[in-house]
A and B are shown apart, each in its own frame.
Chain A
Amino acid sequence: MSENIFITDETIAGDDDGPLAGKTVAVKDNISTEGVRTTCGSKMLEEYVPPYDATVVSRLKDAGATIVGKTNMDEFGMGTTTETSFFGSTDNPAAPGHVPGGSSGGSAAAVAADEADLALGSDTGGSIRCPAAFCGVVGIKPTYGLVSRYGLVAYGNSLEQIGPFGSSVEEAASLLDVIAGPDERDATTREPPGGAENDTDGKSYASAADGDVDGLTIGVPTELLEGADEGVVETFWDAIEDLEAQGATYEEVSLPSVEHAVEAYYVIAMSEASSNLARFDGVRYGHAAGEKGENDNWNEAFSQARKEGFGDEVKRRILLGTYALSAGYHDKYYKKAQDARAWVKQDFDEALSEADVLASPTMPVPPFELGESLEDPLTMYLADANTVPVNLANLPAISVPAGETDGLPVGVQLVGPAFGEREIIRAGSALE
């Protein structure tokens, strides 16, 4: 395991039978596992052991899966390379010497290195799709509300979903079948509207991976190709041609609002993070500062615990988020970002009224070399240009391997309408 895929190796057995019996699953380390530490890739939670299972973990166990470990990740999901982890970076099994993408880098790498059949990640702004693309595996970011977030340590709670990784679309979809569905512990989960209608041909997402794209209309948002790496764009068009050859048609569509998506995404995600991560103060769990009586007051104790427990990227995002929500700036940043989010949603609605699915390169660039961009947060943020709009719009998206450029994996992202997981699974499976 030279790639540093797992933060904690731990076998958690599931039920004897079930749809995932005999399957091994790696679980991102921000998903709570009862009795097994859940660090979020942070020193803050280095020794935190949850007393309860996330809903998705209970569902894995019920489905007979065996959990093989908790995977490395960018600290609290804040990164695109898995390099902000307190536990060190993870090497990319599909492109050694390169990052596996992030923030669910360990989960994608586990599947790519065959350390697990399947894996769970979480996606706040691309954290499943980016590592899937970089590691040459399949990753699905479900519609907001399809999968319970109960037990997922929150980063940007209005944006994120737990989703599956697999070595094929069908494999990933079979894991989605197990984790999807309403949960009384997460008030934002919903039954897919017209669910029964969607379920007519077999109820499962896995069964949608039939490769049948005859008559499918693919919309290509031109904005998501601008500024992308040439090799990536070439690989992308090859994939579209492949789909055309199978009976799909494509047309160019426009998402004019996406030029503001990255800014809007970061303002919203950081604002939410500043609040979500406030609970880490060392009182109830997690890294506590100093000995009893060492700090004069709780304010000092809290700030020392946070100073010691959080890494630079986490501190940066908490500070920016706090600023964006502050009196006098709230309207200028947070409120504006919410307006932009509404606009992005509207653009997607319009584009998806013309096309069945939207396609773009998942990442505008191939995997970075390890260490290449750690010092330049802005470049990192911009690499999320194609993935973050989907989170702002609460839509489902899949990243499917589409080939290589200079020996490095390239992924294609397919975006569907809300609860249109079956559409993107079907289209994605045609690329295999």
Chain B
Amino acid sequence: MCDGGDWQMAVVQIPLRFTPVGSNRHSMTAQTVQQGDLVTVIGLEVHVQLETDTKIFCRCSTEQTDDPNENVCPVCLGLPGALPVLNEGAVEAAVKIGKAIDAEIPEETRFHRKNYYYPDLPKNFQITQYDEPICQEGELEISVEGERRDVRIERAHLEEDPGSLQHVGGSIDTADYTLVDYNRAGTPLMEIVTAPDFRSASEVRAFLAELEEVLEYLGVFDAGRDGSLRIDANLSIIEGEEADENGEIGIDALEAANRTEVKNISSHKGAEKALAYEETRQKNAIKRGRVVEQETRHWDESRGITVSMRSKEEEKDYRYFEEADLPPLRVSHWKDEISIPELPTARRERFRSEYDLNEEAASKLTSTKQVADFYETIADEFDPDLAATWVADNLLGELNYRDMEITDIEDRLEEVTRLVELVAEDEITAKNARETVLRDMLDDEQDPDSIVEEAGLGKTDDDEVQSAVVEAIEENPDAVEDYESGDDGAINFLVGQVMQKTGGSADPGDVNQLLRAELEK
């Protein structure tokens, strides 16, 4: 769970716009903001479920199951007398995230209790981190419309996920009764809190997409898991004249502005839609001279609108205090001992220089770690260009068409490699490989060699093609004559003849070359 918008955590100076990497973000010019402009300011609290085998404070499995209250024990049920024991795997994942976002990792990290009553919370307090989070002051570089920017991450901390509620016979307000499932309770969560650095919904989307990509690269996150990403966003609209001469908005202006906290967002696409809606709603209110209420709003994905949850939000007091059952954990040395893989942005750049790829191809080929790893396997074995075409265009294209991911064919990547090998070694034509073999492989789960054999797609061997070329020349003296008298188009007729003789299994380009060579003799 999340506290309502911690704007207090924001540093005093808030940059109005992102600044290109390398320049000083605090020396923006004021030209970007005009008098009368309305500036949108957004900050995020992103909850990410960490991918660990067991829960954060007990040994229950984190596997999702349809049977309610299946993966539970005295600890995650909060039974009297049960005590938490920290899963160091969750801490390791958190340190990886910290390294990826270049955050400060403290000497030791400790846990606090956040006290509030809610039926999904087994102990009626949540074990979380307060004044010594595992990550502080990091940043994540994103790319928006070709421009690279840093988003500041104020903190990222570990905590336990509560259980989940199922409202029976209605919504949260109207249900006859509510069922509680504690399977989720104790799943490790990382809460990532950004500075209010976003100025548009599309920036938020770019950030979340990049964050997901980084987390997947680190192997600490499974985007396909239901509820693995949950976003709360704070959005407020500030008058342009509040900006100082440097184009920055001070904390005072930010605090003075009413903001809404939008909850129940569960994807980067959803975030863009929800915040675009909320931005328009607030701007319209201001333009019509109405006051924007400070409130919590619920993103209703199916209706595509945000709805007010509580009009007058009480200031919550969580009575944080130290969790004495978990001794402080020394993590200062973990940062050096734990290694992380090359991250997407760096890998993208390396792909461009090392394999001479264009930006689009490099971006596609680094979209997930699995794709990038597979590309490198192929590129190193065959030709980087051929590999790029096969992985970025053919494979991802066909997978996308079938609504599949590369992870869905993880155990068949060797077969795809074999297919590329068949093409690279000229055993089959690129067209046949792409349009027949690959599609059949994905649809019928057959291996490429048997498809090639069954469909008779194997390229005719060179001798056979050569004799067909000789035959075609002998049988068509008129065409030969036309060619020799300068009618280059006649060669196409001869190619057609050879193709006929070889049953279409020869490569037309090769045939063309062979014919020309034969005719030159």
Contacts and interface: CB of A to CB of B under 8 A. Distances in A.
A185 B324 contact: no
B324 A272 contact: yes
Given A275-B319, A278-B123, A334-B321, A32 B81 contact: yes
Given A185-B85, A325-B115, A157 B78 contact: no
Contacts of B82: 52, 150-151
Contact of A284 (B122, B125, B319, B324): B122
Interface stretch (A83-91, A245-253, A292-300): A292-300
Interface string A8-48: 00000000000000000000001110000010100001001
Contacts of B321: 271-272, 275, 325, 330, 334
Contact of A184 (B85, B317, B326): B85
Nearest to A186: B83
B327 A187 contact: yes
A285 interface: yes
B2 interface: no
B79 A50 contact: yes
A158 B328 CA distance: 13
Central interface residue in B122, B178, B180, B321, by most chain A CB within 10 Å: B321
Interface string B119-140: 1001111000000000000000
B36 interface: no
A302 B117 contact: yes
A51 interface: yes
A192 to B, nearest CB: 16
Contacts, number: 102
A214 to B, nearest CB: 38
A333 to B, nearest CB: 11
Interface of A is mostly: loop
Nearest to B324: A158
A317 interface: no
A51 B180 CA distance: 19
B219 interface: no
A39 to B, nearest CB: 10
A153 B81 contact: yes
B contact residues, range: 20 to 34
A279 interface: yes
Contact of A188 (B115, B320, B327): B327
Interface string B278-320: 0000000000000000000000000000000000000001011
Interface string A251-288: 00000000000000000000110110011110111000
A292 B79 contact: no
B493 interface: no
B324 A38 contact: no
Contacts of A280: 80
A152 B81 CA distance: 4
Interface string B54-94: 00000000000000000000100111111111100000000
Central interface residue in B83, B86, B117, by most chain A CB within 10 Å: B83
Central interface residue in B77, B124, B177, by most chain A CB within 10 Å: B124
A179 interface: no
Interface string A45-67: 10010111010000000000000
A272 B82 CA distance: 15
B325 interface: yes
B80 A187 contact: no
B263 interface: no
A326 B319 CA distance: 5
Contact of B119 (A51, A150, A298): A298
Contacts of A271: 321
B125 A32 contact: no
Central interface residue in B80, B84, B125, by most chain A CB within 10 Å: B80
B81 A154 contact: yes
A154 B79 CA distance: 11
A196 interface: no
A174 B503 CA distance: 93
A414 B122 CA distance: 40
B83 A187 contact: yes
Interface in B152-181: 176-178, 180
A378 interface: no
A422 B117 CA distance: 44
Interface of A: 30-32, 38, 40, 45, 48, 50-52, 54, 149-154, 157-158, 184-188, 271-272, 274-275, 278-281, 283-285, 292-293, 298-299, 302, 322, 325-327, 330, 334
A-B pairs with lowest CB-CB distance, top 7: A158-B324, A278-B124, A325-B319, A153-B80, A151-B81, A32-B81, A279-B123
Given A40-B80, A274-B319, 19 more contacts: A31-B81, A32-B81, A51-B79, A150-B82, A153-B80, A154-B81, A185-B85, A186-B85, A187-B83, A187-B84, A187-B326, A188-B324, A275-B321, A278-B117, A279-B78, A280-B80, A284-B79, A285-B80, A327-B317
22 contacts: A38-B81, A40-B80, A50-B74, A52-B74, A153-B80, A157-B324, A158-B324, A186-B325, A188-B327, A272-B324, A275-B125, A278-B117, A278-B124, A279-B78, A279-B80, A280-B80, A281-B117, A284-B77, A293-B177, A325-B319, A325-B321, A327-B317
Interface of B: 74, 77-86, 113, 115, 117, 119, 122-125, 176-178, 180, 317, 319-321, 324-327
